[in-house]
Amino acid sequence: EAGVTQSPTHLIKTRGQQVTLRCSPISGHTSVYWYQQALGLGLQFLLWYDEGEERNRGNFPPRFSGRQFPNYSSELNVNALELEDSALYLCASSLRDTYGYTFGSGTRLTVV
Amino acid sequence: AQSVTQLDSQVPVFEEAPVELRCNYSSSVSVYLFWYVQYPNQGLQLLLKYLSGSTLVKGINGFEAEFNKSQTSFHLRKPSVHISDTAEYFCAVIPGGATNKLIFGTGTLLAVQP
């Protein structure tokens, strides 16, 4: 069974640009979660999608947004990139109403 | 607000020695508790979880954790560590209720020395 896949694995962007990160959940999983792991800040919850809808949102500005597609894959979009957006972005998936996510390997975003 | 505290940012230990990584949570309601491991340049892997039932939970790689409701703790233990256990370990909680949001502690780096 394929795990959670994220693309790209690494990305370098310039301040002010926009970026899109992608996540494919485990087959059959309907919930997708996004986390930001920035140096010194730990793992911060960004977004939770389930059945195509945003269910919960962390304490991030509106320039962080995303969506979930009918096949349950998901995109995370970040507009107007700032230097402090440099981080590892982790995607996880789960069956709805089950506990314990499966994480992907992440996308390392560097903003210069 | 729900929070998770991992008091030790780094735990050095010699190979084959026992180890305990501490985790405390704040909650006035029931919670679901987890331990994840992150190896360098990788994502997170679930070690074990407590949802209900027996308070002693066994996980992968020889790790176990004990849920202590009175002390609001969920410490992770291993009787004998290996060099390959060197990694960052994260305690996490899902507060009981409607949300499925996983809240993480700040992590503990387990550094196993030969």
User: Which residues, in sequence order, are CB contacts of B50 under 8 Å at separation 6+?
Assistant: B32, B33, B34, B57, B65, B67, B74
B45 touches chain A (CB under 8 A): yes
What is the least distance, in Å, from the CA of A80 to any CA of chain B?
26
CA distance B85 to B99: 32
pLDDT of residue A95: 86
Percent of chain B beyond pLDDT 70? 96
Taking residues A53-79, what's their average pLDDT? 96
CA distance A93 to A49: 9
pLDDT of residue B95: 79
Q: Is the peptide bond before A8 cis (omega within 30 degrees of 0)?
A: yes
B105: left (phi over 0), alpha (psi -120 to 50) or beta: beta
- Given a contact cutoff of 8 angstroms between Cβ atoms, the answer to whether B92 and B100 are in contact is no
Q: Do A42 and B107 touch (CB under 8 A)?
A: yes
CB pairs under 8 A between A and B: 52
The model's pLDDT over B47-100, given as tens digits with 9 standing for 90+, comes to 999 988 899 999 999 999 999 999 999 999 999 999 999 999 999 998 776 567
